[in-house]
């Protein structure tokens, strides 16, 4: 699968994943998860990124964030690399790289895919058969978005805020989204866009990104359905 050049648009959400080297663990103890979240909050504030959803799995992390500058996302991951890797190496007396190369990411059109992407991220422990219900997994943003549990890492996106007039209404509407699993085609689309770095949105959205970046983008894998190659409306 070809690796596309990175392109970030201030105000456009970004779905990102970072994996452990050779798929090895990056968390070994509850304190490690807590330290990662502390580093994430610090980096998000310092680099100008709003984090809307996350899940910390044993050997990888998913983040959904909105950068306020073209370099914000890259600087966030650089900060995490410096501080969290230093913590892990010092705590476990290890050396070398913790991460598997560079993180993967893609831009998400908020009106079309933001809430689907949040579900995709917070359902990760279910797909991995670690728990039966997202609320049972401690290391994700689900409790904040669906149950109103205070979480200083999470910033609510406008699409989430539009789900109801009150916090209780929004949380109830958000929980309703999880009553049924993501469609198989939607799962494949979200996963492929992330792995290939392809912006995910309507044909108009992708055309706008192409115009701003000066590059041709889009799905390049042969045999994809036309609805994917042309963008989803």
Q: Domain residues of the chain, as ranges?
A: 14-202
State the Cα–Cα distance between residues 204 and 217, nearest whole angstrom. Answer: 12
Local confidence band at 50 (pLDDT 50, 70, 90 cut-offs): very high
State the Cα–Cα distance between residues 48 and 66, nearest whole angstrom. Answer: 8
8 versus 176: the higher-pLDDT residue is 176
Residue 133 to residues 2, 122, 164, 179, Cα–Cα distance (Å): 35, 10, 23, 10
State residue 228's pLDDT score: 36
State residue 220's pLDDT score: 43
Is the pLDDT assigned to residue 199 strictly greater than 80? Answer: yes
Question: What percentage of the chain exceeds 90 in pLDDT?
Answer: 68
Is the pLDDT assigned to residue 223 strictly greater than 90? Answer: no
Is the pLDDT assigned to residue 216 strictly greater than 80? Answer: no
Question: What percentage of the chain exceeds 70 in pLDDT?
Answer: 89
Q: Region 167-192: what's the mean pLDDT?
A: 93
Cβ pair 159, 111 in contact under 8 A: yes
- Is residue 45 packed enough to be buried (19+ CB in 10 Å), middle (13-18) or exposed (0-12)? middle
Residue 183 to residues 133, 160, 202, 209, Cα–Cα distance (Å): 18, 20, 18, 26
Local confidence band at 227 (pLDDT 50, 70, 90 cut-offs): very low
Residue with tokens 């290391």: 139
Phi, psi of 34 (to 5 degrees): -65, -40
Q: Region 97-105: what's the mean pLDDT?
A: 89
Local confidence band at 225 (pLDDT 50, 70, 90 cut-offs): very low
Domain 14-202 belongs in CATH node 3.30.70.1290: yes
Local confidence band at 232 (pLDDT 50, 70, 90 cut-offs): very low
Is the pLDDT assigned to residue 2 strictly greater than 90? Answer: no
pTM for the model stands at 0.89
Of 52-56, 117-121, 165-169, 178-182, the range with the lowest mean pLDDT is 178-182
Is the pLDDT assigned to residue 209 strictly greater than 50? Answer: yes
State residue 4's pLDDT score: 52
State residue 208's pLDDT score: 80
Contacts of 63 (CB under 8 A, 6+ apart): 14, 15, 16, 17, 40, 51, 53, 54, 121
Angle value at C-alpha 195, between 193 and 199, nearest 5 degrees? 30
Is the pLDDT assigned to residue 205 strictly greater than 90? Answer: no
What is the average pLDDT score of the chain? Answer: 88
């Amino acid at each position: 699968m070809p690796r596309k050049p990175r392109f970030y648009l201030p105000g456009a959400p970004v779905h990102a994943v970072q994996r452990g080297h050779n798929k090895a663990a990056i968390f070994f103890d509850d304190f490690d998860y807590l330290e990662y979240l502390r580093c994430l909050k610090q980096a998000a504030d310092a680099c100008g990124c709003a984090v809307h959803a996350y899940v910390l799995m044993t050997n990888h992390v998913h983040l959904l964030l909105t950068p306020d500058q073209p370099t914000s996302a890259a600087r966030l991951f650089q900060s995490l690399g410096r501080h969290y890797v230093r913590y892990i190496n010092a705590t476990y007396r290890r050396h070398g790289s913790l991460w598997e190369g560079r993180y993967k990411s893609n831009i998400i059109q908020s009106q079309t895919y933001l809430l689907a992407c949040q579900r995709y991220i917070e359902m990760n422990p279910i797909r991995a058969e670690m728990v039966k219900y997202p609320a049972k997994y401690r290391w994700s943003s689900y409790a904040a978005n669906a149950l109103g549990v205070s979480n200083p890492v999470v910033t609510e996106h406008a699409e989430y805020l539009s789900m109801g007039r009150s916090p209780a209404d929004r949380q109830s509407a958000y929980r309703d989204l999880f009553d049924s699993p993501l469609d198989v085609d939607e799962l494949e689309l979200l996963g492929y866009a992330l792995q290939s770095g392809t912006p995910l949105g309507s044909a108009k959205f992708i055309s706008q990104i192409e115009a701003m970046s000066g590059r041709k983008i889009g799905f390049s894998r042969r045999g994809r359905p036309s609805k994917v190659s042309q963008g989803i409306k």
